A and B are shown apart, each in its own frame.
Chain A
Amino acid sequence: MISLNEVSKRYPGSRELALQSVTMTVGSGEFVFLVGQSGAGKSTLLRLLFREYLPSSGVITYRGRNLARFSGGELLRYRRKIGMVFQDFRLLKQKTVFENVAFALEVVGHSPQSIRKSVPAALEEVGLLDRMLAFPAELSGGEQQRVGIARAMVRKPQLILADEPTGNVDPDNALQLMELFAAINRAGTTIVIATHASDMVDRLRQRVVQLERGRIIRDVKRGGYSNEP
């Protein structure tokens, strides 16, 4: 689905490379954890996949096409196939839960009828149907992240990119969120999660790509969800 070939990234004004010669492939339907210390390059990798940044060198391809060569319209269509989940949730505080999720459909021109149908379904999947009229400030961290996930999945994206999605929630909620991601993945969506939560990573037994100082130092594929502590 997405391949990185010798991808490096240097931020303007920095002498250090945030990513160095990264080569990897994310297949359709895969569940990938990006792990590593702060500054290892996990978030940079996610942003490159979203094409928020362009690589300083190397090539990223999506279904065989170089992301750097996408036209404005192609980039827009590509991004609409991706759902983003953030550590700080990035919910709009003046909008209700329903409106926040609906926003993802409104910005791409869905009709009010389709929004009225899709949003409750997404909220039901994340277990927040009964809170759809609440505002973000009235929700716990875990609930806010569920709204973030509902917003990311409501358009049924091909790929979900999540940057430290459990960083601001307690361990119980973190596990539930990871289980939610696993369920979404089982329905066919490719998922790439950057995280520090090694216990979650161990428990979900999915592919793990470990980064250190911008380089991949480990890439392990494992067999799937484990129920053992």
Chain B
Amino acid sequence: MNLNSLRYSLRQGVVSLRRNALLALVTTSMVAVSLAILGGFMLLSANVRQIVHTIESNVEIAVFADMEADVKALRTELNQAQGVREIVFVPRDEGLRELGRSLGDPELFHVFTERNNPLPDVFRVRVQAADEVSSVAEVIRKMRGVDTVDYGEELVAQLLGMTRWVSGLLVATSALLGLGAIFLVIAIIRLSVMARQEEIGVMKYLGASNGFIRLPFVLEGTVMGFFGAVLASLVLWLLYDALIAGLEGMALPLLLNPVTGLTQLGPVFGTMLALGTSVGGFGSLLAVRKYLHNR
């Protein structure tokens, strides 16, 4: 294809978009609706991922030392254990004050002295990954000077299981919606191709190459896909922004804080733009293919 053909094809793409403005508008809107739904699920998925991450980074193993334990040696051993991210030491007397605080009065147990304090020294251990918590706990349990180890096994397992299930469901739904968007675009662009079937036939009789015939359609589809994605991103951004503004006044637990950072939202909107543009172009390629191979 020479420069004249390329220039002509590009011009034809623009002319065709103008000429079939209504169909282009419908296609762009349908792409926007599909992508907005898909983007909504992707945002939900990003939020669920954040919840999983928050749970993972907050899972804590409480290591109760026995009364005769060599605390210094135990601390060294814990520091060296694999999978351990952070250790916080809570001495017995501080533990007593914490217990009092949790019951509403830090001085509630002032009658206990260092000698008769029934609480042991405690290490609060955070692991690098939540799914390693049980194996790390098992290693710690066998350490010299450890009395008991507790990390709320059942609750953590249930919470993680549930969030993973939801996350998987969202990924699967997003994939299905993405596929749906592709088929929708192909179907709509095929309508546009069918409307110009006669023109394609004439072009073939006049000796136009397949690339020459294809290019205006691909350009048209790419433009419609891109603008559909921009529209969907704008609408979704405004809705999400309004949602976040609405949630701002509420005292949400840390776990439920919505995703707001550009590093987390950027990929969602970037994916929508890339998907819309490529779905438009690729959909057009597939839609026009049928009409190029029958001669």
* Chains A and B form a bound pair: yes
Residue positions of A touching B, CB distance < 8 A: 50, 52, 76, 79-80, 82, 84, 90, 92, 94, 103-104, 106-112, 151
Is the beta-carbon distance between B5 and A76 smaller than 8 angstroms?
no
> What residues of A have a CB within 8 angstroms of the CB of B1 in the complex?
109
Known: A107-B212, A108-B5. 8 other contacts (CB 8 A): A90-B198, A90-B202, A92-B198, A103-B206, A107-B5, A107-B8, A107-B208, A111-B4
A52-B295, A94-B19 given; A108·B207 CB < 8 A: yes
Bound Cα distance from A103 to B201, whole angstroms: 13
A127 to chain B minimum Cβ distance, whole angstroms, is 22
What is the minimal beta-carbon distance from B192 to any residue of chain A, in angstroms?
A: 14
Q: Nearest A residue to B4 by beta-carbon distance?
A: A109
Across the A-B interface, give the 8 residue pairs with the lowest CB-CB distance, nearest first: A107-B208, A80-B207, A109-B5, A79-B207, A109-B2, A109-B4, A84-B205, A107-B206
Q: B205 to chain A: which residues have CB within 8 Å?
A: 50, 79, 84, 90
B184-215 vs A: 1/0 string, CB under 8 Å? 00000000000000110111011111001000
For residue A180, give the distance in angstroms from its CB to the closest CB of chain B. 19
A-B contact pairs, 8 of them (CB 8 A): A76-B207, A80-B207, A84-B205, A84-B206, A90-B198, A106-B4, A106-B8, A109-B1
A82 to B5, CA, bound (A): 19
Nearest residue (CB) in A for B201 is A90
Closest to A79 in B: B207
Number of residue pairs across A and B with beta carbons under 8 Å? 46
* Chief secondary structure at chain B's binding surface: helix
- In contact, B4 and A107 (Cβ under 8 angstroms): no
1-24 of chain B: CB within 8 A of chain A: 1-2, 4-5, 8, 19
Query: Which B residues have a C-beta under 8 Å from some C-beta of A?
Result: 1-2, 4-5, 8, 19, 198-199, 201-203, 205-209, 212, 295
Complex: A104 Cα to B208 Cα, angstroms: 9
User: How far is the CB of A60 from the nearest CB of chain B, in Å?
Assistant: 16
Task: Give A181 to B32 CA distance when docked, in angstroms.
Answer: 53
Of all chain A residues, the one with the shortest Cβ separation from B8 is A106
Q: Are B199 and A110 in contact (CB under 8 A)?
A: no
Interface pair A112/B4, CB less than 8 Å apart: yes
Across the interface, do B208 and A108 meet the contact criterion of CB distance under 8 Å? yes
Cβ contacts under 8 Å, B207 to chain A: 76, 79-80, 82, 107-108
In the complex, the chain A residue whose C-beta lies closest to that of B7 is A112
Known: A104-B206, A107-B212, A108-B208. A92 touches B5 (CB 8 A): no
Smallest beta-carbon distance B198→chain A, Å: 7
Q: How far is the CA of A163 from the CA of B201 in the complex (A)?
A: 15
**Chain B residue at smallest Cβ distance from A104:** B206
